[in-house]
């Protein structure tokens, strides 16, 4: 049976229910649906190790915001998405003390550039000190990739955290989805940390409370889907079932991924949304208009 590759807890939960039956009870996991700024919001909480093993995700809370309104060009969608990110993120971050924001990924590869492009647009304040009173100290780094720097992302972030001694860390990365409709249309925010590259089978050292010693919140948007998963969706839409032996669906390799044709524009808008949402969450004294004035 083909294993659907996904970084999204909401998809892992849905896949389990689909395979076990809608009426089956999943021990160690709770889930629910609500809305934030008028946008659909799904909450999955993995409560114990049994739930973590079943879904293949660390224990913690996972919030998935549906941003389809952004691409449907609904009125005020950009602002609503940014405000929703801020509302979800703010309670997950320590109330006081400096925060380190790390953008993971490869600037030279657009589907993987979400993290670096987000931190480029953040309101960074740690260097301002007393010049602008009332702003929380925020530092940011774009960690780069092992092939360019010779350093793991975890090493970059750990080094920055040891120097800055933040109260909390926020990591931003591109994710992999299992559903084509979620590409660039969902944001996952979690207090469980992050394992860079896990969605594309390129596991690195985890960035979490255990490795960094402080709360770690991860923010990610799915920008790629495994090609074999795409093949399954195409077969289902054609009214056919995937073969029992799914090896052929991978083609010549197991690391072929698909990304939307408008990914350049989408990463540009998504990084702007995330940067504003994070900045608002970390600077609750500012409203949206204040932030836009400071960033302009």
* pLDDT band at residue 199 using 50, 70 and 90 as cut-offs: very low
Which pLDDT value is given to residue 37? 97
- Tell me, yes or no, whether 24 lies in a domain: yes
Domain count, the chain: 1
Strands (E), the chain: 29-36, 39-46, 60-66, 99-104, 138-144, 168-177, 186-190, 216-226, 257-258
The three-state secondary structure class of 75 is coil
Residue 282 or residue 24, greater confidence? 282
- Tell me, yes or no, whether 74 lies in a domain: yes
- Tell me, yes or no, whether 3 lies in a domain: no
Note the pLDDT tens digit of each residue in 79-121: 999 999 999 999 999 999 999 999 999 988 999 999 999 999 9
Residue 30 maps to which CATH number?
3.40.50.1450
Nearest-10 Cα torsion for 175, 179, 181, 186: -40
- Tell me, yes or no, whether 1 lies in a domain: no
Q: 19: domain range?
A: 9-295
- Tell me, yes or no, whether 160 lies in a domain: yes
Q: Is the pTM of this model over 0.75?
A: yes
- Tell me, yes or no, whether 2 lies in a domain: no
- Tell me, yes or no, whether 4 lies in a domain: no
d(C-alpha 245, C-alpha 61), whole Å: 34
- Tell me, yes or no, whether 32 lies in a domain: yes
């Amino acid at each position: 049976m083909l294993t659907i590759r996904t970084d999204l807890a909401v998809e892992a939960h849905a896949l389990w229910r689909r395979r076990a039956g809608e009426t089956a009870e999943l021990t160690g996991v709770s889930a629910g649906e609500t809305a934030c700024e008028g946008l659909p919001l799904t909450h999955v909480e993995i409560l114990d190790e049994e739930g973590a093993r079943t879904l293949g995700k660390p224990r913690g809370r996972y919030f998935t915001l549906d941003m389809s309104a952004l691409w449907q060009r609904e009125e005020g969608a950009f602002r609503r998405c940014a405000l929703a990110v801020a509302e979800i993120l703010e309670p997950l971050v320590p109330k006081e003390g400096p925060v380190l924001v790390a953008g993971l990924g490869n600037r030279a590869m657009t589907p993987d550039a979400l993290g670096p492009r987000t931190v480029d647009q953040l309101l960074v304040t740690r260097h301002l000190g007393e010049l602008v009173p009332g702003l929380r100290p925020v530092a940011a780094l774009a960690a780069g990739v092992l092939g360019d720097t010779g350093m793991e992302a975890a090493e970059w972030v750990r080094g920055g955290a040891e120097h800055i001694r933040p109260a909390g860390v926020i990591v931003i990365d591109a994710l992999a989805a299992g559903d084509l409709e979620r590409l660039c249309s969902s944001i996952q925010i979690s207090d469980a940390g992050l394992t860079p590259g896990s969605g594309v089978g390129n596991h690195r050292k985890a960035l979490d409370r255990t490795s960094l010693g402080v709360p770690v919140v991860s923010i990610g948007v799915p920008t790629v889907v495994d090609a074999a998963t795409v093949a399954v969706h195409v077969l289902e839409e054609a009214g056919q079932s995937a073969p029992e032996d799914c090896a052929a669906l991978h083609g010549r390799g197991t690391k072929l991924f698909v990304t939307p044709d408008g990914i350049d524009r989408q990463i540009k808008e998504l990084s702007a949304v995330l940067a504003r949402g994070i900045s608002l969450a970390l600077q609750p004294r500012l409203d949206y208009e204040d932030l836009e004035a400071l960033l302009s």
